């Protein structure tokens, strides 16, 4: 049986986020063209860390994590990227756990599912949830959600490398 770990404690403070990345990740490089070909949700993000032990079953507030990556800008600026499958009911459960998103004026928007991202500020950390659906004009091929937990501004996470 695999070991398991829930990542919800990462939202407590920036030092727990940084410690998690230092303990569980190592430097890794990514082929930008491959990310583009795969329409990977992180194709526009700065990513320089990969998980050490992929046999651990990670979850976020009890929801299964599919992939886990990180970006370390320097000793005090870190981001963790959590990729998982979320439907509207699971997103509502996250909102119940994290509180109302900053970018929604009304919780009624959650009932319609008509949003592309949600944001929270918890202490010194920012959390972004982005829905990412890729279709082939006939059906949705892949639907994943990307949760970013960071103590940086969003602009610091965008990869400006020419492709």
In a domain, 161, yes or no: no
Average pLDDT over residues 100-104: 89
The answer to whether residue 24 is domain-embedded is yes
pTM for the structure as a whole: 0.89
Asked if 70 contacts 80 with a C-beta cutoff of 8 angstroms, the reply is yes
Q: How many domains is the chain partitioned into structurally? A: 1
Number of H helices, E strands in the chain: 4, 10
In this structure, is residue 90 part of a structural domain?
yes
Give the mean pLDDT of the chain: 86
Task: State what percent of residues in the chain have pLDDT above 90.
Answer: 55
Domain coverage including residue 46: 4-156
Q: Is residue 94 part of a domain?
A: yes
In the chain, the N- to C-terminal Cα span, in Å, equals 42
pLDDT tier for residue 68 given thresholds of 50, 70 and 90:
very high
Give domain status of residue 62, yes or no: yes
């Amino acid at each position: 049986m695999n070991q398991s770990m829930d990542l919800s404690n990462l939202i407590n403070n920036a030092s727990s986020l940084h410690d998690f990345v230092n303990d569980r990740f190592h430097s890794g490089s990514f082929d930008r063209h491959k990310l583009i070909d795969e329409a990977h949700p992180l194709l526009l993000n700065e990513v320089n860390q990969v998980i050490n032990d992929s046999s651990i079953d990670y979850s976020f507030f009890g929801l299964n994590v599919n992939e886990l990556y990180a970006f370390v800008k320097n000793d005090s600026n870190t981001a963790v990227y959590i990729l998982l499958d979320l439907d509207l009911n699971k997103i509502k459960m996250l909102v119940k756990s994290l509180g109302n998103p900053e970018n929604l004026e009304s919780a009624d928007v959650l009932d319609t599912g008509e949003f592309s991202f949600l944001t929270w500020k918890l202490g010194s950390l920012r959390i972004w949830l982005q829905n990412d659906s890729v279709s082939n004009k006939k059906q949705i091929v892949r639907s994943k959600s990307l949760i970013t937990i960071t103590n940086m501004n969003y602009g610091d996470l965008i990869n400006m490398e020419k492709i």
